[in-house]
């Protein structure tokens, strides 16, 4: 069940990051996939900084930050 929540939060974070990072994106499906991968990246980055997120809102914030960072890097590479 936790994998399902992880995927749902990653999808929501990908959509939210796509909305926050306007511009030539990867489309809805691409942003959602980036959101799931960004959730992993966000957890890693927050761990490096010594931060931890509690609850569903904290996990959504962590995943969104990771997705924004990943979208930023991918858009730099895409140019």
pLDDT of residue 71: 86
Query: Which pLDDT band holds residue 14 (cuts at 50, 70, 90)?
Result: confident
The arithmetic mean of pLDDT across residues 10-15, rounded, is 87
Name the pTM for this structure. 0.85
pLDDT of residue 74: 84
pLDDT of 18-31, one tens digit each?
A: 888 876 567 777 87
Give long-range contacts, CB 8 A cutoff, 24+ apart: 71-76. Answer: 71/17, 71/18, 71/21, 71/25, 71/26, 71/31, 71/34, 71/38, 72/21, 74/26, 74/34, 75/21, 75/23, 75/24, 75/25
């Amino acid at each position: 069940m936790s994998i399902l929540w992880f995927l749902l939060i990653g999808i929501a974070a990908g959509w939210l990051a796509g909305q926050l990072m306007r511009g030539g994106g990867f489309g809805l499906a691409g942003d959602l996939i980036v959101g799931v991968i960004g959730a992993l990246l966000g957890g890693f980055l927050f761990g490096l900084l010594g931060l931890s997120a509690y609850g569903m809102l904290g996990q959504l914030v962590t995943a969104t930050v990771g997705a924004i960072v990943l979208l930023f890097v991918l858009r730099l590479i895409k140019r």
